[in-house]
Amino acid sequence: MRIGYPCINRGIGCSSGRTFRLRSYSEARMETTVEANLSCLAAILRYNAAHSLRFFRITSDLVPFASHPVCRYPWQRRFGEVFREIGRFIQREGIRISMHPDQFTLINTPDREVLRRSLAELEYHAQVLDLMGLDATARIQIHVGGVYGDRSAAMERFTARYGRLDGAVRRRLVIENDDRLYSLGHCMELYSRCGVPVLFDWFHHRINGGEPPGRALAKAASTWKSGNGIPMCDYSSQKPGARAGTHAESIDREDFRAFLDMSRGHDFDLMLEIKDKEASAAVAVEEAWGDDRFVP
């Protein structure tokens, strides 16, 4: 089990997801932004390796507007060597990588244009990981998408389109159970229809699930095949007093220990979706230190 956090390091003093307004787009702006983002990403990864944090989600904003028609800038060529260098560091340090395109990426949409943009966005994510030379254990996670008033038709569209995805995307794509529309049960059904691996989100499952965590973890784990790496799992806890589903500001040690206990017997890489990022991840590492699954 490796432990990590998504996208942002709050203490390091730089961001790997700096962006700008579409109106400000220029090749010069792209050049300086992507260069700064990659340099910060390298710094975050060095920080993580030095702190036994060996799971990291790379921000989708690494290359702003990468899948937008406005972007004609050849960032892949211009920064190819930088990507390869970062990839070598990731492999040398045994770091696991994920990416998570956001809510606009919907492969089960009934709208052709939304689908076209979504595929372009997924291809961008795959390019980032490919340029780094990472194998298929580096994954791209998305939610299943909308229901559109007809769940079975929406799931059928997902299945058909998954089968027709570009190979570079399909070899990395995993679906994650969400807190409202697609539970672990729905994701398992999609797995049985098309073979897409399922990333288990413990916090969403608590809100929209029902089954005990050990059993749920075992189900999700059964969808990860050799070459995919060990399963990935997202963990968070409820922010006290907030709407159900709001991520906590900082880790709840008690809740986290309980999670470790409940998940005993299952190995996975664990992403802490908690707002204060590396601070809580460090606490999680401390809590997991004696666990025989933990890889420092």
Partner DNA sequence: CAGTGTCAAGGTGGA
Partner DNA sequence: TCCACCTTGACACTG
Residues near DNA (CB under 7 A) are 8, 15, 18-24, 60, 64-68, 102-106, 109-111, 114, 117, 121, 145-149, 180-181, 243, 245-247, 275
Which residue lies nearer to DNA by CB, 71 or 188?
Answer: 71
**Shortest distance, CB of residue 238 to DNA, whole angstroms?**
11
CA dist 149 and 122 (Å) reads: 25
66 or 285: CB nearest DNA: 66
Alpha-carbon span 31 to 45, nearest angstrom: 21
What is the closest distance, in whole angstroms, from the C-beta atom of residue 292 to DNA in the complex? Answer: 31
CB 218 to DNA: min, Å: 26
- Which residue lies nearer to DNA by CB, 114 or 279? 114
Tell me whether residue 169 or residue 294 sits nearer to DNA (CB atom).
169
CA distances from 108 to 72, 94, 113, 161 (A): 27, 34, 12, 7
In DSSP notation, 67-101 reads TSTT----HHHHTHHHHHHHHHHHHHHT-EEEE--
Rounded to whole angstroms, how far apart are CA atoms 287 and 189?
34
CA proximity to 36, closest of 20, 15, 57, 10: 15
Q: How far apart are CA 106 and CA 117, in angstroms?
A: 9
Q: Which is nearer to DNA, 93 or 150 (CB)?
A: 150
CB of 234 vs DNA, minimal distance in Å: 11
Alpha carbon separation from 272 to 201, 244, 250 (Å, rounded): 10, 18, 10
Check: CB of residue 98 under 8 Å from CB of residue 271: yes
Least gap, CB of 227 to DNA (angstroms):
29
- Pick 154 or 196: Cβ nearer DNA: 154
Could you tell me the smallest distance in angstroms from the CB atom of residue 275 to DNA? 6
Q: In one letter, which amino acid is 115?
A: L
